Amino acid sequence: MNHAGQLFVSSDRSDALSIAIIKAGQVEFFHFGTTEPGKQVRPTNSSVYEIGSITKLFTSLLLAHAVLDGKLGLEDDIRRYLPGEYPNLSFGGSPVRIIDLADTTSALPDNLPDFHAVTAHVPEQDKAFALAKALNSYTEANMLQDLHTISLQGKPGLEPRHSNLAAELLGYILSRVYGESFATLLRAKIQAPLGMGNGVRADSPARMVQGYDLHHVAMPQSNQSAVLAAGGLRFSVADMAKFLQTELAPAAEPIRLTQKPAFGNVETGAVGLGWQISRNVEGALKLNASGGTFGSASYVELYPERGYGIVLLANRSGDTEERLYQLADTLFAAVEGTPALDALKADLTRTHYGDVDGSVQRTRSRFPRLTLSEAYVNNWGGGLLGTDPKAALALFQSNVARWPQSSNAFDSLGEGYAQNGKPTEAIAAYRKALELNPKNHEASDSLRSLLSHQ
């Protein structure tokens, strides 16, 4: 644990890093780096970080309480709870439902106000500050007015897609049906029962950890009322450990409701109320969520069958969120072990990745629960591109054979061919990726670049 945490900070992934590991009801904390660059001020259990989109777990848990309290129904049309008429919140006769707001299938745009419009003429280094300023003066009344102008991006309930607006609307609706502010509901339903601190306003501002971007510039905080229910909360690692301990012992009916798949299936990736739900490579049931703000990154995951959970909080934006995901995998392997994955890697190494499918079959005969999702293999191959492009290509080829309708798999295959000096095959793979998903911008950009060098 200490080696992995120290390496994360020394590799300049973050200035400060706080971790909580929950195992069989017990919690252990680890802290690395400094909360004040240039000084040795190690974070503590009570240091408060912004948690970004992990906030949506709390908003979704409040929704579960509201459902069980009889305040609303998951299948309700959200327009029942909005003032005025919103004919635009329906697509082909299918309205946005309450459940669509929580399981990420609302088809709503990501943000109001439109972040791209706010920063269109702002230099890159000033965009976070321009957004923070715009959000400081953005009210619920502004949101409801602007809501009349948006268009759904498709039929609700069909495709997961990130939307802060969906969570913000959910927070507004919850406040309306209870007749209480979001902050009051959060305190009464979650913070006080769990003994957590104030997630809206830090109990002690001095404990708030300053966030930074990739260039070490101090960033504005993200707790404006406009984004509060979507990404505006802040907690210490000790607070988040209490939350995960409760989630790992879900005797409470609201928690059970949030952890139930609402869209998709666990084997290929599902979404609950706020949670991403899947199986890890060992076949263990996994729930996870991540978040990022102008200057922070956060990640949490649960393995309910194993009584294991982890919280990772960092004060750096950019790709730190993805790095925390990878760090969580490393720490899970250290605590729980990954015998199936270890056996597969050994077989692949022995055969020089010459027979990926055969290696998988041989490993699965010993470890029947071995689970290789499309995303996992894609990420695995991506990690090998820089060090062993031939092995990466072999993984990508196996992946497209298993997921022939995946644009992302063919996109990665194209990258694998390109890295192995096979431009003709790369072009064909990118074209297939675009055939499957014309909106795959990474594939179109890569294809354009390759064709320009033909």
Task: List the CATH number of the domain containing 268.
Answer: 3.40.710.10
In a domain, 304, yes or no: yes
Provide the domain limits for residue 403.
Answer: 372-452
**Whether residue 329 sits in one domain with residue 388:** no
pTM of the model: 0.92
Whether residue 294 sits in one domain with residue 408: no
203 with 281, same domain: the answer is yes
Q: Which two tokens stand for residue 23?
A: 């195992």
33 and 155, same domain (yes or no):
yes
Domain of 448, CATH number, reads 1.25.40.10
23 and 74 share one domain: yes
**Residue type for position 428:** A
Task: Check residue 203 and give its pLDDT.
Answer: 59
Q: Give the whole-angstrom CA distance, residue 81 versus residue 87.
A: 14
Strand bridging mode 48-50 / 16-23: unpaired
Using DSSP, state whether 92 is helix, strand or coil: coil
pLDDT for the residue numbered 9: 96
Enumerate residue ranges in the chain where pLDDT < 70: 202-204
Q: Given this model, what pLDDT does residue 202 score?
A: 62
Same domain flag for 434 and 315: no
DSSP 8-state code for residue 189: I
In a shared domain, residues 271 and 378: no
The two tokens of residue 29 are 């904390």
Identify the pLDDT of residue 32. Answer: 98
Both 157 and 57 in a single domain?
yes
How far, CA to CA in Å, does 215 sit from each of 34, 212, 219? 16, 8, 10
Q: 359 in a domain, yes or no? A: no
Task: Give the total number of structural domains in the chain.
Answer: 2
Q: 276 and 135 in one domain? A: yes
Q: Is residue 355 part of a domain?
A: no
Res 204: pLDDT: 67
Q: Which of 88, 214, 100 is nearest to 148 (CA)?
A: 88
Is 135 found in the same domain as 186? yes
349 part of a folded domain: no
How big is the chain by its Cα radius of gyration, in Å? 23
Please indicate, yes or no, whether residues 203 and 305 belong to a single structural domain of this protein: yes
With respect to residue 193, please indicate whether it lies within any of the assigned structural domains: yes
Please say whether the beta carbons of 32 and 9 come within 8 A.
yes
C-alpha pair distances (Å), 20 with each of 1, 35, 129, 238, 266: 11, 17, 31, 7, 26
Of 285, 312, 335, which one is at a domain's C-terminal end? 335
Q: What pLDDT shows up at residue 206?
A: 76
Do 209 and 315 touch, CB atoms closer than 8 A?
A: yes
Residues 206, 270: one domain?
yes
Q: Is residue 138 part of a domain?
A: yes
343 inside domain: no
Task: For residue 284, tell me if it sits in a domain.
Answer: yes
